Each structure stands twice: as C-alpha cells, then as structure tokens.
Chain A
C-alpha cells in the first residue's frame, strides 16, 4: 500500500486527510493488515464453505403501521430544513 492508495480510499470514504494523517494511516493500515493477513493461509473444513446458520430475509407486509417516532424531534435534527424537508446542496 502507498500514499496514493490511502488517498483513493479516503476519497471513497469521503474523508479529508492532511499529509501527516495520510502517512500515519499508511503505517497503521500496514500494521493492521499485517495482523489480519494470517487468515489468508487458513485451510478450511468443507463445512465452513456453507454457513452454519443460513441467513434469510425477514419480511413484513408492506402496509403502513404507526410508529412512535417523533416527527417534530426528527425534523429538528436536520442541520438544514424547509417546510418539513431536509435541505441539501444541489446534487447535479
């Protein structure tokens, strides 16, 4: 991994970094990946290829239900709002 890889990841994650932070992060990621890499060489039993407990979606009927969310509290949390809508910068 190099500084330009850190820059690319930071761009994807929408985080700005100073040059010092980039260098520190490069060092940290090298050390963390050095540790987690040990799983690369693990030989797995055939059973591990299929999850022990199968994940499945849990659906409910698509009908409106009352929730006790406070609309007032929710809209108050928007940093910018107008007429009960979230206000954001132009996307396109």
Chain B
C-alpha cells in the first residue's frame, strides 16, 4: 500500500527506480482517490483517459535506464495550460469544447521528462477569482473542510494535491492564484520571477503579470518542478535564460517585516500564527527588522487597474469566429455580442467592462497611466529594500479558507483576499507560500517569503529551514 500522504517526488522516483512500484501503480492509487473524492470536491474537470498509457510509457523509460527526475510523476494541470489534443477550457463556457492545438512550453518540458498528466483542474473562469467559485463548471471544495473554498484561482490544482488525487500540480498566478490556494489547502506554492517561466501556451489573463506556478506538499517538490519548467523560450519574448538565476545560494539571514501593511483587516489567529512564526525564525538565528514599504500598500489597487485593462484586451479574441463557442447572429457585431454574452460569466464580464473603462478616452491617464507609475514606484521600492534585507515576510492571506458562498456578492471583499499577494506580482519578484500551522478549528495557515528577482534558490533554502521549525 502506497503512503500517498507522505510521498514526495524524490521518494516516488526512488521507489520506481528500485522497482518497489511502477508509475502505473502510483497512477492507479491516485485514480482510486479520484474515484472516491472527485465527485464531491470537483477538483478535476476531466481525468484524462490515457493516464495509464502515459504511466506505462514512463515505466518503459525507467526500465531502459532513461528515467529523469520527473519520469512517472503524476501532475494535475490547471485548465488554462494547453496540452495538445486535450480540452483547455479555462473553466469557461466560451471554451468548453476547445481542444488545444499545441503544447504549452511547460508541458513540452514536462513531457520530455516523462511526467504523467492526470487531468485538468477546476479554476476560476479565466483565472479570475480567489475561490474557484467563478468556474462555469461548479465550485471546487476544500478537502480539509468541504463547506469551505479551496482558494483560487488555482483551487482545483491545490485541492487535488491536498487530497492525494495527484502528487503535484501546475497552477498559474496573476495575483496570488497559487499562493492563496496553497495557503487555504496547507501546501507550498511558488510564484516565480516574472519571465522565469515561459507563458507560451497559457490562456492569457494579464500578460504583464501571469506566471506558471508550481504547487506541492513541500518545498523540495516545488523546487524540482520549478527547475524543470523554467528557462528561455523563443515563443515568449519575456522569458529569460535560467543562467540569470543566482546559481549558488546567496543566503543571507536578514528578514524585513512590513508590519504597517497588516495593521488591520487581518484575522486574529492569522496574526497570532504569524507572530509565532517570526519567533521561530528569530530562534533559528534570523535577524528580524522592521521595514517600511510605503508604495506597496497600493499594490492591489494598481492591480485592479492594470489587470482588467489587460483582460479586456486579451479576451477580445473570443469572438465566436476562431475557436470556442459561437452563437448565430444577424451580422458580425451581433455574433460577437451573442457569443460573448452567452460564453462569459459574471466576473469575467465585470473585469472586461472595468478594463474597457480604465482604458477609455478621458480616464486612461488618471487610471491606467497613473497605475503604471505607481507600479514603477513599487518595483523601485523593493529593489531598494533588498539592499537592506534578504527576505520580506508577510502572512500569505489575511484569513484562513472561508465558507462557500461568502464574498460572492461583494467583489472588493473578494479582491482583498489577495492583498498580500499583489506586491510580488506587481513588482515581478518571486514569492513562496509555506504552511505555518493550523487554526484552532484545524484550518491551514501560511506565511510567505518574498525575495529579489531570480533569487528563487534563497526562497527554497529558507523554506526548507522553516519546514524543519514546524
């Protein structure tokens, strides 16, 4: 009997190399859990019919001695990442039957390494949401408490890993969409440096913000996935060569805490746990200093201008002509309107219209241009703070997982879930969310470390140390 709960990528690979079990055995064990749990949790929108064949191919690679680090490892993949020949719907009615015509760069890399794709996971429609409740295919549930949300937008990916329906997962982040569900489900989530991982083959939401982001049960798994998927891709001009990453671990032991960012609006148990985590880090020899990030408090406001502007532009491609849903109309304009009205859900429409507004004549300067200038100030502020400290530490989210149905009629209350996520996305820097304990009611809590561009290795180092302090 496989101990899925404590399984890691390295343990799984070792077991397969030694012949203790095969990838097919592993996949069958996860399938058993999927059959038992997915109906309620709605983590997977589709379990791929060819997973056992994929696993057998991986087993052959291993038998021939051609096994790599991720050969035979079962991945859950967010529904906005293209896998050639499989549906990629971004959990939207408008792409319900869209079959991907090529592999995303990250999928190509994982295929080369022999990874197994278990299925595509539920998410907020077009990754717009913080709870997986805007999915056109029903809400996903938090495996720790099914009356609560798993977070979002990569909620299905997080729920799948947390309930042992896959070993690890890929999600995407535009503003906290992996760190926040990692926090709600007790997992580790990494938002890489903007440009570290190619966005080719990812259904775009906000191009200046989007990053593919790995999810796992521990730091080492996330590190292995990140190293496997990062690197320069000619199909994404913003992607950068891996050699830009600081190869050795530069370490450093100074942690800056911007206390002023969470003076209010943070749940008491989250604060209590955060303070306890800071004490643990102090005891382990880290130097803790107070820092001031005066512009970062505007990150979420900046985000809710820049992101909808990019959304309204990006989603104009869904016109009922080239792919996806198409509704009959009297003329071209009528086809556009009927298709888009039938295909987009409420939150997606809200963001398209908001984006249309902030980009419109007369408002462009006050909103979009000003937001970019504040964004520059935030980027600069982090660049300067990293001359003084090695890490910035905050809680990952202001509250633990909330109840299904909550915040759905108040968009701003929902957006505030990502208040601590926003600075890293806005500044393009990497951040790692880590489990830091439980509430009295047993819900996962999380802290996040933020570092300067390309210092992911430092995140992994401190993350592993923090895991030992728990």
Contact = CB atoms under 8 A, between A and B. Distances in A.
Interface in B210-228: none
Given A70-B102, A79-B320, 16 more contacts: A9-B353, A10-B353, A13-B352, A13-B353, A15-B344, A16-B341, A17-B341, A29-B354, A31-B410, A39-B301, A42-B295, A44-B374, A51-B372, A58-B237, A76-B99, A89-B335
A45 B381 CA distance: 10
B455 interface: no
A88 B298 contact: no
A73 B88 CA distance: 13
B360 A9 contact: yes
A80 to B, nearest CB: 7
Nearest to B377: A48
Given A49-B373, A80-B326, A86-B321, A25 B101 contact: no
A76 B428 CA distance: 37
B305 A39 contact: yes
Contacts of B445: none
Interface in B290-328: 295, 298, 301-302, 304-305, 312, 316, 319-326
Interface residues of B, number: 64
A15 B348 CA distance: 11
- Of the listed residues A6, A28, A31, the one surrounded by the most CB atoms of chain B closer than 10 A to its CB is A28
A66 interface: no
A34 to B, nearest CB: 8
A47 interface: yes
B337 interface: yes
A29 B340 contact: no
B376 A29 contact: no
B357 interface: yes
30 contacts: A9-B356, A13-B349, A14-B319, A14-B336, A25-B353, A29-B350, A32-B304, A33-B357, A39-B305, A44-B377, A45-B377, A48-B373, A48-B380, A49-B376, A51-B372, A52-B376, A57-B237, A67-B102, A70-B101, A70-B102, A73-B85, A77-B322, A78-B321, A79-B323, A79-B326, A80-B321, A86-B322, A89-B329, A89-B332, A89-B335
Nearest to A73: B101
Interface in B93-107: 98-103
B84 A32 contact: no
A14 B337 contact: yes
Nearest to B208: A55
Interface in A4-41: 5-6, 9-10, 12-17, 21, 25, 28-29, 31-40
B366 interface: yes
A31 B372 CA distance: 21
Contact of B301 (A36, A77, A90): A36
